Amino acid sequence: MTDHYAVIGNPISHTKSPLIHGLFAQEARQDMQYTAIEGPVEPDTAFADVVRKFAAGGGKGMNVTAPFKLKAFAMADERSERAALSGAVNAMKFEGGRILADNFDGIGLVRDIEINLGLPMAGKRVLMLGAGGAARGALLPFLEAKPAELVIANRDVAKAQALAAQVAGRGAVVACGYADLEAMGRFDLVVNATSASLTGDLPPVPPSIFRPDGMAYELAYGKRLTPFLRLARNAGVRNLADGVGMLVEQAAEAFAWWRGVRPDTRPVIDRLTVPLD
């Protein structure tokens, strides 16, 4: 019998998730169907109604994208620790009338950096720009990778400080504003987890943060050389990446959680990659 899954968001026409999960299902020989649902933004309870209806109709799981990650968190019966810390959910599993929830964005990002791109974070100086949902989701998986230091910089410094305080004791993490970065030396890995690139903007970072032999990672994907990646390249960084690998890896985590089989991500990443230049 075919099992049903879906991604829910609004808007949703841009989503690559049905393509990604379709390729995974083909490769892993899973009898499943995966569709995209445009979720209702109003009234407030409508999102939860659509999710419950999907589950009641036999749906096995859902991915959740903007703007519903917080609503999915709120309606879950059980949440993983990383979902609890991020306050956001990007994957749900429906089991015995209960909603189990997780957030695979951060672990997907770590897998892309460490496994696909070959930069183990242990002992490295890591800078994360931004303190929104994506940064929150990445925090715990980043600290579990044991960097020498994790610096979170954000325009609204109080948000970065609140994040750092939440994980105090889990690793070496500090928060700062962009103006402080000039004095903080170079980082082995700089991750742009702001949404600045979506509007063609650049977080106000000095080029002195980059090590030429380090890596610059842009969470947005398919946007070629964003202002952030261009700044890094002009600072001599050769190892540049965008978030397509993170997108595919988080999908693979959800797929493995639902189906008990880990799909091969490489061919799917290759298929979706838009060259930076």
Q: Which residues of 264-277 are buried (b: 16+ CB within 10 A; e: fewer)?
A: ebeebbeebeeeee
Residue with tokens 């990604």: 20
Residue tagged active-site, from 69, 71, 93, 124: 69
User: For residues 130 and 203, is the Cβ–Cβ distance under 8 A?
Assistant: yes
Cα separation, 107 vs 105, in Å, equals 6
Is 146 a residue of the active site?
no
Complex with ligand NDP: residue 55 or 134, whichever CB lies closer: 134
* Residues in region 155-184 near ligand NDP by CB under 6 A: 155-156, 159
Q: Please tell me whether 195 is known to bind a ligand.
A: no
Q: Please tell me whether 180 is known to bind a ligand.
A: no
Complex with ligand NDP: residue 55 or 173, whichever CB lies closer: 173
- Please, what is the end-to-end C-alpha distance for the chain in angstroms? 44
Closest CA to 191 of 161, 147, 159, 156: 147
9 sits near ligand NDP (criterion: CB under 6 A): no
Q: Please tell me whether 213 is known to bind a ligand.
A: no
Could you tell me the smallest distance in angstroms from the CB atom of residue 152 to ligand NDP? Answer: 9
Could you tell me the smallest distance in angstroms from the CB atom of residue 160 to ligand NDP? Answer: 8
From the list 54-62, 196-204, 231-239, 252-260, the region that binds ligand NDP by CB under 6 A is 196-204
Q: Please tell me whether 130 is known to bind a ligand.
A: yes
Using CB under 6 A as the criterion, which residues of the chain lie in contact with ligand NDP when the complex forms? 105, 130-135, 154-156, 159, 193-198, 201, 203, 219-221, 243, 246-247, 250
Known binding-site residue numbers for NADP(+): 81, 130-134, 219, 243
